Amino acid sequence: MDAINLTIIDRNFIELVKKESGENPYLCYQCGNCTAGCPYTTFFDYPVSQIMRLLQTGQKDIILNSRAIWVCATCETCTTRCPCQIDVAHIMDTLRIIARRENRVSEKDIKLFYDEFLSSMAKYGRIYELGLLLGYNIKSGHIMTDADLGPKVLTKGKIHFLPKKIKGRDKVSKIFERFKDRTRRDGR
């Protein structure tokens, strides 16, 4: 890890994460258990225990620009093994939400995939797998993503060519709308 300038501690950021996650990052004593079990740690730029330390020292920019918070798969290993009973995965979740809100996205493809998923949901009420994959491929520019799987999936009849639309899909899209109204109202 690069040297960190401890004269810049963003206390508001620490408070925000505390409030939104309901967790206390100061309980962490850097035992490293979370990192030892994290199956994704080889793909992280900062291992999860370092994210925790960076959080204790209010290093907002490093954290929100990190790859780790997007690559984390919420597998719950860290939460399960933390001796201080910190819900570490929930903190990672919260950091990702804040990063998204501030439009800082180090892993564009992952975010795009999530966005396509949610727009499928808002449109149909359920997930339309083929549409989700095609939408992702076109928008990401990775047109051939999983094209090798195509024949397998198609011959197995595993994928529907038309979305299943539920009757209450307007009710689902209403949830999204109310949520948007609410965030607008809160000035986020």
Partner 1 sequence: MADREYAYYSGCSLEGTAVEYDISVRRVMEALGIRLSEPEDWSCCGSTPAHTVDHLLAAALAARNLTIIEKMGFNTVITPCPSCMMAFKKAHHRMKEDIRFKDEVNSLLDEPYNLNVQSKSALQIIIEDIGLEKVKERVTHVMPDLKVAPYYGCILNRPPEIAQFDDPENPLSMDKIFTAIGVEVCDFAFKVECCGAAYGVPKRDMVNELTYKILSMAVDCGANCVAVACPLCQQNLDLRQQQVNIRKNTSFNIPVLYFSQIMGLAYGYSPEEMVIDKLVVNPDSLISSRITLSQWNEMKAREAEASKAKKKEKKNIEKIEEET
Footprint on residues 34-73 left by ligand SF4 (CB under 6 A): 34, 37-38, 40, 48-49, 52, 72-73
Q: Does 86 bind ligand SF4 (CB under 6 A)?
A: yes
* φ, ψ of residue 22 in degrees (nearest 5): 70, 15
Report CA torsion sign: 20, 22, 26, 30.
negative
Amino acid at 81: R
Identify which of 97, 158, 160, 98 has the alpha carbon closest to the alpha carbon of residue 130: 160
Q: Does 11 bind partner 1 (CB under 8 A)?
A: no
Tell me the C-alpha distance between 158 and 146, whole Å: 15
Cα–Cα distances in Å, from 128 out to 21, 124, 138? Answer: 31, 8, 16
Strand (E) or helix (H) holding 82: none
- Residue 55, Cβ neighbours under 10 Å: how many? 23
State both tokens at 3: 């040297």
Tell which one of 16, 62, 134, 172 touches partner 1 (CB under 8 A). Answer: 172
The entry of ligand SF4, partner 1, none that residue 50 binds, CB within 5 to 8 Å by partner kind: none
Tell which one of 77, 95, 121, 133 touches ligand SF4 (CB under 6 A). Answer: 77
The entry of ligand SF4, partner 1, none that residue 178 binds, CB within 5 to 8 Å by partner kind: partner 1
Tell me the C-alpha distance between 171 and 177, whole Å: 10
Q: In angstroms, what is the minimal distance from the CB of 79 to ligand SF4?
A: 7
Tell which one of 12, 24, 74, 183 touches ligand SF4 (CB under 6 A). Answer: 74
The entry of partner 1, ligand SF4, none that residue 33 binds, CB within 5 to 8 Å by partner kind: ligand SF4
Q: Does 67 bind partner 1 (CB under 8 A)?
A: no
Q: Which spans of this chain sit near ligand SF4 (rule: CB under 6 A)? A: 28-34, 37-38, 40, 48-49, 52, 72-78, 82-84, 86, 88-89, 92
